[in-house]
Structure 1
Amino acid sequence: MECSICGASAVYEVKYNGSALCKKHFLEYVEKRVKREIRNQVDFNKKNMKISVAISGGKDSSATLFLLHKILSERRNLELTAFTVDEGIEGYRSTGLEKAKKLCKNLGIPHGVISYKENFGYTLDEIMKIDKKTISCSHCGPMRRQLMNKISEYTGSDYVALGINLDDYAQSILMNVAKGDVARYARMAPHTYTREGLVPRILPLRKIPEKEVVLYAILSGIDFDSSWCPYYSMAQRNSFREIVEKLEKETPGTKFAIVKFFDETRPAIKDNYIKENTVLNKCRICGAPTPGDICEVCNDLEQIRKIEKEL
């Protein structure tokens, strides 16, 4: 198979557009699309800016940090920083954390760690031993989002970048549609608005298929953690992953079509669910921004403590 551009030996066949690419043109193909997303998602008009990158050490977040550094490092008014959320998952997070620290050191990017144990009093492993009925994602998702926002706000970041690829993004869109959760659909990142106390999230890889992220990381020499979260099998997302993969196999380009549908429908409903510059309440327990009196995480922790007392 030859590269459609230069005729050299191809390393990747792009089934959704019928082309084949050599190493050089594949890397350029990925970088061109990521640059476009960055331009669309980030407002560079501020005099000085900072972007925090949430890095787990896996392929997606590592590639996100690598690409942001490669594309933005020459901007004098922009600073990159990185952090890892340590959920406290034995035999899993420690490996990813090591890879994350190594990449940050190699790129010369400051790196911090924020943990469940120090902020919530429990590791995720401890929570799952207490609450055996609730799936891990129900606890982990809100906690992780809260800590990502907390450390990003603490470092004075204008944006927090997440390593979410096209596959992840298409799955999330369908999950919200299937649940009829229009409010969450409207609030999905990337965020082009600001709300007091919340750092806008950006998704540089949201139009890069997962297999292309993996190949880009390998060809770029990025040392990433390839292990899976031990609680992964519990996730409802697995069903949507299978649905999206089946649709993509039957009709290449379906994942892009799902994202295109989202991009064209969200503006029509956003104003009904998101009020820009809205002043949110502060959780009366932890101080985190929340539309109510107590945030989702503190409500969850209260239930965990009740279950723990009954054991």
Structure 2
Amino acid sequence: MKVIALNGIAMSYHAQGEYSKAIDYLEEALRIRFKIFDVQGIAMTVGHLGIVYDSLGYSDTAIQCHQIHLNTAQNIQDREGESMALGNLGNAYMTSGDSIKAIQYHHQHLVIARELQDRRGEGNALGSLGSIYNSLRYSNTAVEYHRQRLLIAEEIQDSAGEIGALNNLGLAYEIQGNCKKALKYCKKALLLAQEVKDPYSQGKILANLGTIYRKLGEYVKAIDCLQQCINIKKKLQDIRGEGYALKHLGNAYYCQGDYIKAIESYQNSLSIIRKIQDEEAHEQILIYLGMVYCALKDYEKAITYNQQHLAIVSKSASKNQPM
């Protein structure tokens, strides 16, 4: 059917980071599904739109899409659709920064996936829960979830799941301060990602490796990994990922003592971070630039960047004050 092909093409574009094309194909699929009154198909396609909007950072719109999918799936007793929508809601709430709701939805997803004996869905839910606990710095809990995910991924020969589990185990061990173990898992993940030619995963893993090598004091290797990561992010047109990688590259140059290159990396990152309006990353880079100029004994510029940081913090504090 044409509509199935349109959905498939859309999600292929999504995987390549071409989100506007993905939306165009999904909207065309949606028009066809409305004409033939395919309720289940409409809900699924709206869910796919939610996935794309989540990737664009529009978590509120994504949540609305996934809630429509969930409500419809529950009304027509589509347990597979319900499971999918719950997992996607968990992802969208994580994007929005609401880790409590994200955990709740992923737990519901896990229960239904196990009920349906959907091993891939079960693995995805476990991996998502592990990632949330990584972000909350509960690394022991994260390790448990990612180990379970890895076993399932190996069992069903899910290379994407295996790559994700290995990389996230590396991240969990890095949070614990066990950088040697983290390096072992991330290297395994990178080899597998290169083997299956998955540039998106390669970029994520190289970013993690850059941080691990920096913490181990191996700055040349850290810089090499982060430069490779930036090249991949540029090819994928992942401007957000490029901005974050440039920030980490600045950190590596700073630790190496190459303050001029650190400034260049931070400035390039700052121009991207301002475009995507990430306030937390904006504050971090201003702090880092202040630190670099202090190291260079250029105290006037250091004060300028710290004052910019202070202005953002003051503005944010005034917004949060009760009226």
Question: TM-score per shorter chain, which class?
Answer: under 0.3
Q: Which has the higher strand share?
A: 1
The TM-score, its normalising length taken from structure 1, stands at 0.24
Q: Which has the higher helix share?
A: 2
Structure number, greater radius of gyration: 2
